[in-house]
Amino acid sequence: MADEHHRSDERVPVEFQIYYIHKGDYILSFSKNISLGGMFLTAADPPEPGSKVKLIFPVEEYYEAEVMAIVIWVNLTPQQEKNGMGVQFLSPLSAKLKETIMRDIKRVEILKEFEGFA
């Protein structure tokens, strides 16, 4: 990984549905991994690096959180299921969204520890 793409927070594999808005288009995507600083999203045709996107997280059944992010890098391959973009959050995450992300991260960490005992 190039130095300019260095992450300060560890990303963990967490998959959930998320929407992003870019140039007026409302696009369904899925996360592949996340940290408190950014995430990787699937995207058949991701925006160019440097593009700003609005992310819409489904936090709870009746609550969504919006976060501005910038596309840091894109992955385009012949296998479209691997296409996507790494984004860095630009706006602060709400307390509720941080709590949800941390709960998912802790769940993955617990599963990793559990698998270590198998």
The pLDDT, as a whole number, for residue 111 is 66
* Cα R_g (the chain), whole angstroms: 14
Range of the domain at 7: 3-116
What confidence tens digit (pLDDT) does each residue in 37-58 have? 899 999 989 999 999 999 998 7
CATH of the domain at 77: 2.40.10.220
Q: H or E segment at 4?
A: none
User: How many domains does the chain contain in total?
Assistant: 1
- Enumerate residues 6+ apart whose C-beta is below 8 A from 6: none
Which is more confidently placed, 35 or 69? 69
pLDDT at 108 over 70: no
